[in-house]
Structure 1
Amino acid sequence: MMNLMIIWILLLSGLSSCSGTASDVLCLQSLKQSLGDPNGALYSWEFSNDTEGYICQFTGVACWHPSESRVLSLYLGNMGLEGLFPQGVQNCSSMVSLDLSSNSLSGPLPGDIARQLPFITSLNLSHNSFSGEIPSGVGNLSYLYQLSLEHNRFTGRLPETMDDRLSRLALLNVADNSLSGPIPGSLQKFSAEDFAGNDGLCGAPLGKCKRQFHVRIHLRLRRVNDASSVGGAVGFVVGFVVAFYFPQWFLFCGSLRRYIFPVCA
């Protein structure tokens, strides 16, 4: 908790000169346009009002100050929303928390996610259908305190950038995806439950990584070497027998040219 308070102090000092209002309104307009909303969860998002701070009354929207249109957090979990990761979030330039959990969102995460969410401390995308690899840009979310990506369809390895750049990360969950490969060193402090349901993941706190690739190479080379040894031995024996019983086969014709060594008939 102390770490989170320090992060907030840093954010407050960094955001003191930021102005939202117009860009934050654009952010919410873009989200409403890009996301499918079959349940009408965003019905309160009406943009006909031009009063400062009116967006702070929208469902799921929290502002830094109720009379200032500057988005602090978006809590849009379990609303039945559909579509891809909303690119419009980049216009909520001072947002520190984004919760899109338990919806029907799909597709990949943007590679420039750190540019779109530069001050994010909590990112909850769990219980959706996001797919593809977790972008390396996640490792550049330098203020990140909590990352929840469980119950999605992510594949590939956990980015190496998460190993040494997410120094403030205290809560992580990537369970029930299709991730593979070794768990980066600094993430091994989290519990096994945070990585469960990824059959390809290995390393602490899960089981040791199997070195199947190296074993295959070793066995393959050994077979090649064994075959070469057997072939060399057979060739030597055959050559010795032929030379002993048929020495005339190795008398070269004197009339032949230099460097050509056919056997005389």
Structure 2
Amino acid sequence: MMVCRVFAIFFGNCLCLLLLLSSLADANQANIDCLKTFKSQVEDPNGYLSTWDFGNQTAQGFICKFAGVTCWHDDENRVFSIKISGFGLRGVFPQGFKLCSDLTGLDLSRNNFSGPLPSNISFLQLQHNQFTGTLPPQLAQLRRLKTFSVADNRLEGPIPKFNSAIITSESFANNLNLCGKPLDNCKMTSTNSHSKVVILAALGGFTVTAFVVGIVLGFFCSTISVEQLLFRKSRQNR
């Protein structure tokens, strides 16, 4: 009976270890795929990503030697942060980052990325690019957001209501037409203005119509009163 218990405990520990190693292997492969996908989705005219060589994927921590990549541990392929500021990279925001499940910091500032921003990202430094469109409101729901900047882009529209105190006006400076706290309040949109004009025009038209109807009714009533008065006088004369 004792031998059976010892064997069961040993077997359970081995199974847990195998599951742990399997999950770490999957996490490492996801991070490798993250960087590989990112490299395939951007243009690198200056060759800064030439160190991102995926030929020897059997070496532990080989991606930790990539330019701009920092790992949680040097012997694990788990990306902690990516800082590739000023690399001169071009293209839309790389969707491959969603595979970097362990990523806590991302600095893409001073590149030439363009297009809209995705909504499922956090820990961002995206200043000095060419991003366009509006800021996704989902960004304000990221509770782990520690650093954020989209200064010097071409963004417009209202700023989501961030709860973090670190989000200051400098984080949104020099954009096309961003508005709302911590910047100036948003002006009335043309659609709202048009709606108000339509409403005022309708009220004005109703007022004019009521005035005209009042004059007509007044004239009609006065005409009836005069006819009744003449009729009474004619009867009195008879």
Give the structure-1-normalised TM-score. Answer: 0.65
Q: Helix, strand or coil: the match of 1:69?
A: coil
**Structure 2 unmatched ranges of 5 or more:** 1-22, 229-238
1:89-238 matched pairs, under 5 angstroms: 89-111=97-119, 113=120, 117=121, 120=122, 122-159=123-160, 162-163=161-162, 166=163, 168-172=164-168, 173-179=171-177, 182-183=180-181, 188=182, 195=183, 201-202=184-185, 213=193, 216=197, 219-220=200-201, 222-238=203-219
TM-superposed deviation, 1:240: 3.1
Q: Helix, strand or coil: the match of 2:103?
A: coil
TM-superposed deviation, 1:127: 1.4
Letter paired with 1:132: G
Letter paired with 1:33: S
Determine if contact 1:85/1:108 at 8 Å carries over to the other structure: yes
Q: How many Å separate the matches in 2 of 1:88 and 1:47?
A: 15
- Equivalence for 2:28: 21
Q: How many Å separate the matches in 1 of 2:149 and 2:179?
A: 19
Please point out which of 63, 66, 76 is paired with 1:58.
66
Q: Helix, strand or coil: the match of 2:132?
A: strand
What per-residue deviation string (whole Å, max 9, x for no partner) do you get for residues 57-103 of structure 1? 11111111222211111011111111111111111111111011111
Q: How many Å separate the matches in 1 of 2:103 and 2:143?
A: 14
Letter paired with 2:214: A
- Equivalence for 2:37: 30
- Equivalence for 1:13: none
1:215–1:245 Cα change, 3 Å: same
Q: How many Å separate the matches in 2 of 1:217 and 1:182?
A: 26
Q: How many Å separate the matches in 2 of 1:46 and 1:146?
A: 29
Q: How many Å separate the matches in 2 of 1:169 and 1:22?
A: 36
Letter paired with 2:148: L
Q: How many Å separate the matches in 2 of 1:42 and 1:83?
A: 14
Please point out which of 73, 93, 97 is paired with 2:81.
73
Q: Helix, strand or coil: the match of 1:42?
A: helix
Q: Helix, strand or coil: the match of 1:51?
A: coil
Q: How many Å separate the matches in 2 of 1:127 and 1:240?
A: 75
Q: How many Å separate the matches in 2 of 1:237 and 1:154?
A: 59
Identity of counterpart residues, as a percentage?
30
1:170–1:72 Cα change, 3 Å: same
Greater gyration radius: 2
Equivalent residue pairs, number: 198
1:66–1:147 Cα change, 3 Å: same
1:136–1:233 Cα change, 3 Å: same
Give the structure-2-normalised TM-score. Answer: 0.71
TM-superposed deviation, 1:153: 2.0
RMSD: 2.8
Higher helix fraction: Structure 1 or Structure 2?
A: 2
Determine if contact 2:155/2:178 at 8 Å carries over to the other structure: no
Work out whether 1:40 is the aligned partner of 2:40: no
1:82–1:139 Cα change, 3 Å: same
